[in-house]
């Protein structure tokens, strides 16, 4: 009797832990069941307390059922739900009651899911026929928007047929317009998954329905093909643009060449550039695009050839042209020539802009001459050329890589006065600061960034916790944890691991065990390395019983982890 009761108690405990985790996790909702902290089940949530009476509040020690906690109507309701029978009505009403009773839990479970997950879940049911799928999508009761459509199409593992079926259902809804922007979403999703045949079918169907493609559409389709190294198909698309209501003009040519140069197909872009010279007129931007491609690879001879052709066609080099030339000279390790050309820009009627200054700053950082970098930075300010985000990022990263932290912090102070740092830039600064030395510099950048209203990424928070854990700064780590949650990020297994690692390093073993148990309650499973370190520390301090109880909990948690992996592998929701 005691063994059976303990099994029931364990099952209730896991239900409570699971629902509590979901309540504080990504899908907030009310806790349906939670054991009382004052009950005897509390010892199951902590290895630090002993059970006072295993059967308090459930089954009494003499085996008599406690009538105050289990109601007869509850048992009858559960049995009727299981047997699909109505305990209070007649037989003819069974189907009606069955529909009412069974639909409520389904709606409750769906309420825990995000809109895109509800819609993706329809395709996990493997329904037969397009009509059945569309009916199930209508029943999802979701406020549809382009953002939701984008999430459905770009996350998960839907096939091309399912993606197209969902999209054509979506554009029939009153909140979604059947326009070019909507079609660009599905084209981009299909191209990302390399469903090129389906992508071209949607493009042709879009034209048949009278929806005209635009430059963004061409850029999406061409970039998808070029990214997959299908350059010939991209060039054939350019020749057939009239089928989609577009012209083979300079604007579309520049889009094709830009996609090819950005994907490192500058050789094919240059050949196509020479081939189509007589059919499509060029402009200065066309030449600059080809120059940018060769400049990225440091091909100075090709840059000079294109530059001569540009001047031969009557186009004068602009600031963008000189920027690419300066970058190419720096990659070719010809810094002196870059300095001469930069000094002659004013003589040729082209005042250096922020791009040209950034190119010179990058060139001197590559050779480790930080003093000359600051010279060009001060020269930029004296000429009233406003630095941009790239200027400061290049300088700060250069100082941090050279381990000149004080100069980097001083430059960061100047940056926050002029521009608001981006989230990616802050993350890169903190990552470099956390690669060596104490976390003081990283914390200064973090605090100043938050003060000016910059959004901090979750990766930056985890980098700070990792470094604070290494130096045993648990108080500061806890503050970072709270600020991370205030920013809208939920803790994950890495954050719990950093907290556990910091606690056992500072000798706070009992708190480390409590954090480990909280991690398991939240449904996370720390790495075996963290578990082994905590075990060894507990055994070294002769807390064998505590270590054994913790081992039992982790053993059960590992079984739950394996089950969840199997659920996810089969595409099941929790």
Looking at per-residue pLDDT, the higher value among 64 and 532 belongs to 532
pLDDT of 270 strictly over 90: yes
User: pLDDT-derived band of residue 93, with 50, 70 and 90 as boundaries?
Assistant: very low
**192-202 pLDDT, tens per residue?**
999 999 999 99
Rounded Cα distance between 450 and 485, Å, is 14
Quote the percentage of the chain above a pLDDT of 90.
61
Quote the percentage of the chain above a pLDDT of 70.
79
SS (H, E, C) 160-206: HHHHHHHHHHHCCCCCCCCCHHHHHHHHHHHHHCCCHHHHHHHHHHH
pLDDT score recorded for residue 564 = 74
What does the buried/exposed string (b/e) look like for 76-85 if buried means 16 or more CB atoms within 10 Å of the residue's CB?
Answer: eeeebeeeee
Give me the chain's average pLDDT, please. 82
pLDDT score recorded for residue 560 = 79
Give the residue-averaged pLDDT of 91-115: 48
Angle 196-208/215-227 helices, nearest 10 degrees? 160
Give the residue-averaged pLDDT of 170-185: 93
Q: Which residues are CB-neighbours of 164 under 8 A, at least 6 positions away?
A: 186, 190, 198, 201, 202
What does the buried/exposed string (b/e) look like for 171-205 if buried means 16 or more CB atoms within 10 Å of the residue's CB?
Answer: beeeebebeeebbbbbbbbbbbbebbebbbebbee
Give the other-Cβ count within 10 Å of 392's Cβ: 21
**318-337 pLDDT, tens per residue?**
999 999 999 999 999 999 99
Tell me the H-state helices in 263-383: 266-275, 284-296, 300-312, 319-331, 335-343, 354-366, 370-382
Rounded Cα distance between 95 and 118, Å, is 26
pLDDT of 253 strictly over 60: yes
pLDDT score recorded for residue 573 = 53
Question: From residue 262, how far is each of 18, 144, 209, 265 by CA, in Å?
Answer: 47, 34, 32, 7
pLDDT score recorded for residue 71 = 56
For the chain, count helices (H), then strands (E). 29, 0
User: Taking the mean position of all CA atoms in its chain, how far away is CA 137?
Assistant: 26
- 563: exposed, middle or buried (Cβ count in 10 Å: 0-12, 13-18, 19+): exposed
User: pLDDT-derived band of residue 79, with 50, 70 and 90 as boundaries?
Assistant: low
What are the beta bridge partners of residue 59? 65
Give the other-Cβ count within 10 Å of 381's Cβ: 13
pLDDT of 222 strictly over 80: yes
């Amino acid at each position: 009797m005691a063994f059976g009761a303990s099994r029931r108690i364990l099952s209730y405990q896991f239900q409570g832990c699971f629902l509590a985790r979901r309540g504080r996790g990504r899908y907030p909702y009310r806790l349906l069941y939670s054991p009382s902290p004052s009950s005897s089940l509390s010892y199951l949530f902590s290895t630090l307390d002993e059970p006072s009476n295993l059967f308090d509040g459930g089954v009494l020690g003499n085996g008599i059922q406690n009538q105050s906690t289990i109601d007869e109507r509850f048992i009858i309701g559960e049995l009727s739900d299981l047997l699909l029978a109505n305990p209070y009505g007649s037989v003819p009403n069974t189907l009606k009651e069955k529909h009412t009773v069974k639909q409520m839990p389904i709606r409750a479970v769906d309420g825990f899911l995000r809109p895109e997950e509800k819609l993706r879940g329809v395709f996990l049911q493997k329904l037969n026929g397009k009509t059945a799928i569309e009916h199930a999508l209508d029943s999802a009761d979701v406020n549809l928007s382009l953002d939701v459509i984008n999430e459905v199409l770009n996350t998960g593992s839907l096939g091309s047929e399912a993606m197209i079926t969902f999209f054509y259902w979506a554009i029939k809804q009153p909140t979604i317009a059947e326009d070019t922007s909507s079609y660009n979403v599905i084209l981009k999703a299909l191209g990302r998954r390399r469903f090129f045949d389906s992508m071209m079918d949607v493009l042709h169907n879009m034209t048949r329905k009278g929806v005209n493609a635009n430059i963004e559409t061409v850029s999406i389709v061409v970039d998808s093909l070029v990214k997959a190294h299908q350059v010939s198909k991209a060039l054939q698309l350019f020749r057939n643009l009239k089928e989609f209501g577009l012209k083979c003009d300079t604007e579309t040519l520049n889009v094709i060449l830009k996609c090819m140069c950005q994907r490192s197909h500058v050789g094919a872009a240059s050949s196509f550039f020479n081939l189509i010279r007589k059919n499509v007129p060029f402009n200065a931007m066309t030449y600059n695009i080809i120059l940018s491609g060769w400049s990225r690879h440091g091909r100075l001879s090709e840059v000079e050839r294109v530059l001569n052709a540009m001047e031969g066609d009557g186009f004068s080099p602009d600031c963008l042209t000189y920027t690419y030339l300066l970058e190419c000279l720096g990659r070719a390790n010809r810094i002196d020539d870059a300095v001469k050309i930069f000094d002659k820009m004013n003589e040729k009627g082209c005042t250096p802009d922020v791009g040209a200054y950034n190119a010179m700053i990058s060139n001197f950082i590559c050779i480790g001459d930080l003093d000359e970098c600051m010279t060009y930075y001060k020269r930029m300010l004296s000429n009233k050329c406003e630095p941009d985000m790239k200027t400061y990022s290049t300088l700060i990263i250069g100082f941090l890589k050279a381990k000149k932290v004080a100069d980097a912090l001083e430059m960061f102070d100047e940056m926050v006065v002029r521009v608001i740092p981006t989230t990616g830039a802050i993350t890169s600064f903190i990552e470099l600061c956390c690669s060596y030395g104490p976390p003081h510099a990283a914390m200064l950048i973090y605090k100043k960034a938050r003060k000016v209203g910059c959004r901090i990424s979750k990766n930056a928070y985890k980098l700070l916790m990792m470094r604070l854990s290494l130096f045993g700064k648990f108080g500061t780590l806890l503050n970072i944890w709270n600020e991370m949650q205030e920013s809208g990020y939920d803790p994950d297994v890495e954050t719990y691991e950093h907290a556990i690692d910091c606690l056992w390093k500072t000798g706070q073993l009992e708190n480390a065990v409590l954090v480990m148990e909280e991690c398991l309650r939240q449904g996370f499973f720390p790495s075996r390395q963290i578990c082994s370190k905590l075990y060894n520390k507990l055994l070294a301090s002769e807390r064998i019983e505590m270590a054994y109880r913790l081992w039992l909990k982790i053993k059960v948690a590992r079984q739950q982890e394996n089950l969840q992996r199997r659920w996810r592998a089969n595409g099941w929701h929790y």
